[in-house]
Chains A and B, each alone.
Chain A
Amino acid sequence: MSGRAELVRGVGLVKRFGGIVANDAVDFVVAEGDLLGLIGPNGSGKTTLINMLTGHLEPDGGDVLVRGQRMSGRPPNVYAAMGVARTFQQTQLFGRMTVLENMLVPGLARPHSTWDEVARRARRYLDFLSLSDVEQLPAKNLSGGQQKLLELGRCLMLEPAVLFLDEPFAGVHPRLRDKLLDRIRELHQGGRTFVVVDHDMESILRISRRLVVMARGSKIADGEPDAVRADQAVLAAYAGL
């Protein structure tokens, strides 16, 4: 991969839930500078894959490597400390804490952080995400779209190298969605790496450089958007839905 540093790699990842094989030996790499779309029909195993790549699920088989380091058995906070951030498909905020406090948590979890420095950074990101006006509101009082923005902001407070966003556009008002897309593009230009999950291609195709397609627990395509779109297996997977 053209000499760019590899951030997160999954090797032969397997996850079963009872009889369901949610991920069946999936290989996955994300390298610095990627803006990668991870797509696939509902239930194809995208969330499960992200959960394993960020330490939230222990794989039944295979390995996760972050910057070449084997991660098995490490808790999610170690992933976070190593620059791997994520959002959740169902937004998971600290509901009864204020918007600002939501931002402070990841900031202060970093070693050698100080309240002042973290608060300053938090305000900057809140401004960037147009959430400054609501910084003293409890997070649960925000609209759905604002919650997604805040969750993104909370990730940014980790100053992560790579962000996994699980369906960030689902259920978001189109205007907010455009804003979210803009922000992602901006952050990407600023040097951050993204893996963005979506179950339809529409939004993702506007920004992504590389697409990975999942179906029934397996990776069925990985490459340039145009090539992937022409792929027969991909068409079949979507048509067969």
Chain B
Amino acid sequence: MRGLPIAIVLAAAALALANAGRLNPYWTHVAIIAMYYGILAASWSLLAGYVGLFSLSHMAFASIGGYTSALLIQWFRLPIPLGIVAGVVMCCALGGAIGWVCLRMSGPYLAIFTLGFSEIVRITISTEDEVTAGMAGLHTHSLLASATRLPYLYVAFALLALSLLLMGLLVRSRWGLFFRAIREDEQAAAASGVAVARCRIVAFAVASGFAGLAGGFYAHYIGIMTPSVGDLDEMAKLLVMTVIGGMERLPTAVGGAFVVEFLLEWLREYGQWRLPVFGIVLLLTMRFARNGLVTPFWLQFLRLGEARVSPLSAAPTVPDKESGT
């Protein structure tokens, strides 16, 4: 990302935050939820878009993060942030374990395996109601002692920004390069000296950790955790958001989450029909604009900074560490 686009993004974010107080509570809530999905979409794109690991257990990790935090706080009276951190640690560990277990799986096999994992998590949470309160839902403590939602919006924004920053640094580092190499050709990556197993495990652990972070925040914002937070419908929704936005870049994935979440709310008067319509949009995106609908705009936006340099004098600078973002 060159200077100008960065400046624009920062300015837009500052402007939005400064004016966030004008949103009514309903739209504040929508914005918060959009940011929750934004973290999830970005971290899922890290896994599915960058490394090519098509995991269907991402929402299950959000659920695990939320429940872990809620339960630990209930049992041990931890401070809430510590509970959320514990949820993140739990998800990192479990995610790493899942990544390790499915090292030899690829494509549809990995998808089926993680789908299975996600169902087991859901079934267990629903069934062990003595611990988790099952389908009735587990009441959680609120993160902030605030009567309004605005402070939550700031927290959500900070978490999203922090997640994007950390993941952005990761994908621009050599790890990001290795991730994409694995996605393109795992065998060739190994032949090039890339420790494929380590990369895959790390990617799973990191992505799951961010999912856990999102889940932990959600738990202590909404006030109740239910097994449906991690179910397949939620996973499908996340997939719809990420793919429609563009799953191979973090900002486009987040863009997809925002666009879809806001449209879903804005079109609320059309009731149930919104969901299948987004299903169709997803199918059309796959068919005709596989890189996602936000991606062309994003690439155009990134070029803003370059427009001043004439193409001829644009000597190849340092290897594009940023070409992936």
CB of B271 closer than 8 Å to a CB of A: no
Tell yes or no: B130 within 8 A of A by CB: no
Report Cα–Cα, A56/B187, bound state, in Å.
Answer: 8
Q: Give the interface SS of chain B, mostly helix, strand, loop or mixed.
A: helix
A104-B319, A136-B316 known; A93-B188 Cβ under 8 A: yes
In the complex with contacts A94-B185, A96-B184, A109-B178, A75-B192 CB distance below 8 A: no
Q: Does B309 contact A (CB under 8 A)?
A: no
Q: Are B196 and A94 in contact (CB under 8 A)?
A: no
Q: Shortest distance in angstroms between B120's beta carbon and chain A's nearest beta carbon? A: 29
Complex contacts, B174 vs chain A, CB 8 Å:
104, 108-109, 115
Say yes or no: A106 contacts B197, CB within 8 Å.
no
Give complex CA distance A128, B89 in Å. 48
Residues of B within 8 A of A97 (CB): 177, 180-181, 184
User: Chain B residues near A54 (CB, 8 Å)?
Assistant: 191
How many residues from B make CB contacts under 8 Å with A? 24
Q: Which residues on B sit within 8 Å (CB–CB) of A95?
A: 184-185
Stretch touching chain B among A8-16, A61-69, A79-87, A227-235? A79-87
A56 surroundings in chain B (CB, below 8 A): 187, 190-191
- Residue among A54, A85, A104, A157 with most chain B CB within 10 A: A104
In-complex Cβ contact of A115 among B187, B189, B319 (8 A): B319
Q: Is A88 an interface residue (CB 8 A)?
A: yes
Chain B residue contacts of A106, Cβ below 8 A: 192-194
Residues of A within 8 A of B191 (CB): 54, 56, 76-77, 80, 85-86, 88, 92
**Beyond A94-B188, A97-B184, A115-B318, is A105–B177 a contact (Cβ under 8 Å)?**
yes
- Whether B178 and A115, one on each chain, are in contact in the complex, defined by CB atoms closer than 8 angstroms, is no
A98-B323, A104-B177 given as contacts; is B187 within 8 A of A109 (CB)? no
Instruction: Identify which of residues 275-321 in chain B touch chain A, using a CB-to-CB cut-off of 8 Å.
Output: 316, 318-321
Q: Is the CB of B184 within 8 A of A154?
A: no
- Indicate whether A204 reaches chain B with its CB closer than 8 angstroms: no
Q: Assess whether A88 is in contact with B187, with CB atoms less than 8 Å apart.
A: yes
Chain A residue nearest to B189 in the complex (CB): A105
B47 to chain A, nearest CB (A): 17
- Least CB distance, B193 to chain A, in whole angstroms: 4
In the complex, whether A101 has a CB less than 8 A from a CB of chain B is yes
Q: Which residues of B contact A98 (CB under 8 A)?
A: 320, 323
Q: With an 8 A cutoff between CB atoms, is A158 at the interface?
A: yes
Contacts of B187 in A (CB 8 A): 56, 76, 88, 92
Contact with B along A139-154 (1 / 0, CB 8 A): 0000000000000001
Q: Is the CB of B177 within 8 A of A101?
A: yes
B193's partner among A77, A96, A122, A136 (CB-CB below 8 A) is: A77
What are some 26 contacts across the A-B interface (CB < 8 A)? A56-B190, A75-B190, A75-B197, A81-B193, A85-B191, A86-B191, A88-B187, A88-B188, A92-B188, A93-B188, A94-B189, A95-B185, A97-B177, A98-B320, A101-B180, A104-B177, A105-B181, A105-B192, A105-B194, A106-B193, A109-B174, A109-B178, A109-B195, A122-B319, A154-B188, A158-B192
Q: Which residues of B pack against A, CB within 8 Å?
A: 174, 177-178, 180-181, 184-185, 187-197, 316, 318-321, 323
Give A residues with C-beta under 8 Å from B. 54-56, 75-77, 80-81, 85-86, 88, 92-98, 100-101, 104-106, 108-110, 115-116, 119, 122, 135-136, 154, 157-158
